[in-house]
Amino acid sequence: MRTKLFALTIMLVTLGSYAQQDAQFTQYMYNTITINPAYAGSRGALSIFGLYRTQWVGLDGAPETSTFSINTPLNNSRLGIGASLINDKIGPTNENSLSVDLSYTVQTSADFKLSFGIKGTANLFNLDINKLNPEDQGDPQFQDLDNKFSPNVGAGVYWHSDKAYIGLSVPNFIETNRYDDNDIAIYKDKINYYLMGGYVFNLDQYEYYKFKPAVLAKMVEGAPLQVDISANFMFIDRFVIGAAYRWSASVSAMAGFQITDGLYIGYGYDRETTKLNNYNSGSHEIFLRYEFISSKNKMTTPRFF
Q: For residues 166 and 296, give the distance between their C-alpha atoms in angstroms, rounded to a whole number.
A: 25
Signed CA dihedral, 72, 74, 80, 84: sign only = negative
Q: In the chain, which residues have pLDDT < 70?
A: 1-21, 131-145, 178-188, 295-304
Q: Provide the CATH number for the domain formed by 6-292 in this structure.
A: 2.40.160.40
User: For the chain, what are the domain ranges?
Assistant: 6-292
Closest CA to 40 of 49, 51, 50: 49
CA separation (Å) from 97 to 17, 85, 129? 22, 6, 21
Residue 121 pLDDT: 97
pLDDT digits (tens, 9 = 90+) for 244-258: 999 989 999 999 999
* Strand, helix or coil for residue 232: strand
Which amino acid is residue 278, in one-letter code?
N
Beta-strand relationship, 145-160 and 164-170: antiparallel
pTM for the full predicted model: 0.86
Q: For residues 217 and 223, give the distance between their C-alpha atoms in angstroms, rounded to a whole number.
A: 13
Residue 132 pLDDT: 66
Q: Catalogue the long-range contacts made by 86-90 (C-beta closer than 8 Å, 24 or more residues apart).
A: 86/23, 86/34, 88/23, 88/63, 88/64, 89/63, 89/64, 89/65, 90/11, 90/12, 90/15, 90/61, 90/62, 90/63
Residue 142 pLDDT: 57
